[in-house]
Amino acid sequence: MPKENPIVVFKDVKKVYRGGNIAVEHINLTINKGDFVCFIGRSGSGKTTAMRMINRMLEPSGGTILYNGEDIHKTDAVKLRRRIGYVIQNIGLMPHMTIYENITLVPKLLKWPEEKRRKKAKELIKLVELPEDFLDRYPSELSGGQQQRVGVIRALAADQDLILMDEPFGALDPITRESLQELVKHLQEKLGKTVVFVTHDMDEALKLATQIVVMDSGHIIQNASPSEILQHPANDFVEDLIGEDRLMQARADVTTVSQIMLKNPVSITPGRSLSEAVRLMRQRRVDTLLVTDDDDYLKGYIDIETLNTSYRHATSVSDILNTKIFYVVDDTLLRDTVDRILKRGLKYVPVVDKNGKLRGIVTRAAIVDMVYDTIWGDSDDGGESGSEKNENTSRSGAASNAREV
Amino acid sequence: MANLNTWEQFWYYLVNNGSYVLSQFVRHFLISIYGVLLAAIIGIPIGIIIARKRQLSAFVISVANVIQTVPSLAMLSIVMLGLGLGVNTVIFTVFLYSLLPIIKNTYTGMASVDKTILDSGKGMGMTSFQILYMVELPLAMSVIMAGIRNALVVAIGITAIGAFVGAGGLGDIIVRGTNATNGGAIILAGALPTAMMAIISDLVLGFFQRRLEPKKV
Ligand SMILES: Nc1ncnc2c1ncn2[C@@H]1O[C@H](COP(=O)(O)OP(=O)(O)OP(=O)(O)O)[C@@H](O)[C@H]1O
Ligand SMILES: [Mg+2]
């Protein structure tokens, strides 16, 4: 796979802790400039370990890591760390330093002149929408969310273009977390920073990442874009991690109407007589009939009520044809249809192709089926649940015929 | 009546021997300070080292503990065997007694610095020396100061005994008083300034200690 602009490359990296505990193994990973990479996995899966090897807080036991094409093992660890922003979970602000001193710590280590540091601090504090006089405060005088904002801008103060973040927002309330997520997403998108972000919150990963690295017991299970992960989870573990709700959501995101529609809907042509229509309804046990012309173009529908009230003065289907019909085109995404079907309280919606020819119907029951499939319908499930599923499919088939208005 | 008499005598002694008392006061203070300073110069680095190498800490602190348990008069005599009579013996004894509180507090102060702060400092690219003097020492300073404060108060007491080995200081005045008949007033002239010195040192260093207290996050 050709990768345009790698900033960090892991080559068969391994880390064994003292005592022989293999924390990560066979890590191969390319992080491109401007990417937002999320490491996600259960506790102890090796996310922190993998991340901390990038700025040499940990030394790999095997393999190499390149930073901007350079083997980091051959660089000066201290200089490397000054080039890479680092935000830890507990924020780690220096309690005895003012916010200004905290923000400008790395620039100070790099011996920037005072005016340049002052200017940078003011610029950054504005970026996170904190008042400028906060610069003279101590961390203890800020709220947790404000402290973490400072933690984030501290990692940018020396114009680092790579920022490592280890579960930075875990301890924050949802609203603060959201605004900080927006901040880092903004930094990555607008300022072109590369972000490596450890989390075990799939929502956070899906929201922020351009690339999600799923880890389990020290191995990379899947490394792909969020949509790829959602649509093609590598295995059960990844599916579990994503969760049923999101998988269903994701499936609705890519499933088209034609994939779940019932083919061969009950239909009739306008020229037929009403008695034929009644017979057909009774035979198929339905209360409405879709009406198509001889070439299958959808014209409208008739229902049992109108038929009942106009039986005496009408003779053919075309006399009671209701042309006000809501339909969907077969390549519409299910996601866009579900809402409309539910909102209109429709029991089913006819599906037509691009030319207006009737292709099938989508019923509420079919949507229920999809939900059911997503949650319990794994193909490698035991026989019992398999038969249960079949039963349900046939039941839903019956339901689709027993339409009610 | 007799009490008042003693106070009168005390004032009389102070007025007539003011410069003598003052010079012994200064001498007493300096002996204590020298001993404590020496202990700080040696003890703080030892504290830092054992905070870095935790395996050493138990050994070093128990040695310092043993020193502490030797009664001061016995210690003075033992040191005197080596250093002879005079002021050096007292300074060295003060030094020995000050080691424990200073080493122990330096160790405790350093060890109590939040690990995540050290981690973030290292992660930002601070050298271990920068972490030491920009993070650990500032954060541990109030605890270290508490150790020095402890040491100085004890040192002032030990220096008073130092008169027995001919080091001078306020203890010298007390010894004179015990040798004189009706020397109560003279004893007071030595003992009161000693007590005052201890109390004031404690207050002043306590003030600094509070000033150095790190802000809690
Ligand atoms: N200093 C250490 N010494 C020995 N083993 C360690 C050390 N640090 C981590 N480990 C082990 O390495 C494995 C990976 O740990 P790591 O901290 O990378 O997990 P993580 O994915 O970041 O987990 P969490 O989500 O809980 O932070 C774990 O089994 C852990 O017990
Ligand atoms: Mg971790």
CB pairs under 8 A between A and B: 70
Q: What CATH number does the domain located at A258-375 have?
A: 3.10.580.10
pLDDT one-digit tens code per residue, A380-405: 444 343 333 333 333 333 333 333 33
Q: Does the CB atom of residue A199 touch ligand 1 within 6 A?
A: no
Nearest residue (by CA) to ligand 1, atom 22, is: A48
Nearest CA in chain A to B115: A92
> Which superfamily is assigned to A6-242 in CATH?
P-loop containing nucleotide triphosphate hydrolases (3.40.50.300)
Contacts of B125 in chain A (CB under 8 A): 78-83, 106, 109
Answer yes or no: is pLDDT of B205 > 70: yes
Ligand 1 proximity of A104 Cβ (cutoff 6 Å): no
ipTM summary value: 0.81
The pLDDT assigned to A285 comes to: 85
Write down the pLDDT at residue A402.
32
pTM flag (> 0.95): no
At B216, the pLDDT band (50, 70, 90 cuts) reads: low
The pLDDT of residue A55: 94
Q: Count H helices and E strands in chain B, helices first.
A: 10, 0
Sheet of strand A6-16, all strands in order from the earlier edge strand to the far edge: A22-32, A6-16, A62-67, A70-71
Contacting residues of A for B114, CB less than 8 Å apart = 95
Q: What is the mean pLDDT of chain B?
A: 90
pLDDT for res B3: 59
Give A195 Cα–ligand 2 centroid separation in angstroms.
16
Task: Assess whether the C-beta atom of A226 lies below 6 angstroms from ligand 1.
Answer: no
Asked whether A146 lines ligand 1 (CB < 6 A), one says no
Contact call for B217 and A139, based on CB within 8 A: yes
Q: Do B125 and A79 touch (CB under 8 A)?
A: yes
Q: What is the pLDDT of residues A155-196, one digit of tens each?
A: 989 989 899 999 998 878 888 888 889 988 988 888 889 999
Span A270-325, pLDDT tens digits: 888 888 888 888 888 888 889 998 888 998 888 888 888 887 778 888 888 888 88
Question: Mind spelling out the 3-state secondary structure of chain A?
Answer: CCCCCEEEEEEEEEEECCCCCEEEEEEEEEEECCCEEEEEECCCCCHHHHHHCCCCCCCCCEEEEEECCEEHHHCCHHHHHHHEEEECCCCCCCCCCCHHHHHCHHHHHCCCCHHHHHHHHHHHHHHCCCCHHHHHCCHHHCCHHHHHHHHHHHCCCCCCCEEEEECCCCCCCHHHHHHHHHHHHHHHHHCCCEEEEEECCHHHHHHHCCEEEEEECCEEEEEECHHHHHHCCCCHHHHHHHCHHHHHHHHHHHCEHHHHCEECCCEECCCCEHHHHHHHHHHHCCCEEEEECCCCEEEEEEEHHHHHHCCCCCCEHHHHCECCCCCEECCCEHHHHHHHHHHCCCCEEEEECCCCEEEEEEEHHHHHHHHHHHHHCCCCCCHHHHHHHHHHHHHHHHHHHCCCC
For residue B137, the chain A residue with the least C-alpha distance is A96
Of all protein residues, the one whose alpha carbon is nearest to atom 24 of ligand 1 is A43
Residue A257 has pLDDT above 50, yes or no: yes
Cα A117 to Cα A160: distance, rounded to the nearest angstrom: 14
The mean pLDDT of chain A is 84
| Contact indicator for A75, A81 with CB cutoff of 8 Å | no
Domain boundaries, chain A: 6-242, 258-375
Chain A nearest C-alpha distance from B43 (Å): 24
- A111 to chain B, any CB pair closer than 8 A? The answer is no
Report the pLDDT value the prediction gives residue B24, as an integer from 0 to 100.
92
Q: Is A57 on the interface with B (CB under 8 A)?
A: yes
Of A372 and A111, which is predicted with more confidence? A111
Cα–ligand 1 centroid distance for A397 (angstroms): 51
Pocket test for ligand 1, best of A21, A39, A43 (most atoms within 8 A of CB): A21
Residue A400: predicted pLDDT: 34
Ligand 1 and A45: CB distance under 6 A: yes
Are the Cβ atoms of B138 and A90 closer than 8 angstroms? no
Looking at the CA of A45, name the nearest ligand.
1
**H/E segment holding residue B170:** helix B170-179
Structure tokens at A146: 């404000």
* Among A88, A93, A94, A143, the residue to mutate for chain B (most B Cβ within 10 A): A94
For A156, nearest residue in chain B (alpha carbons) = B124
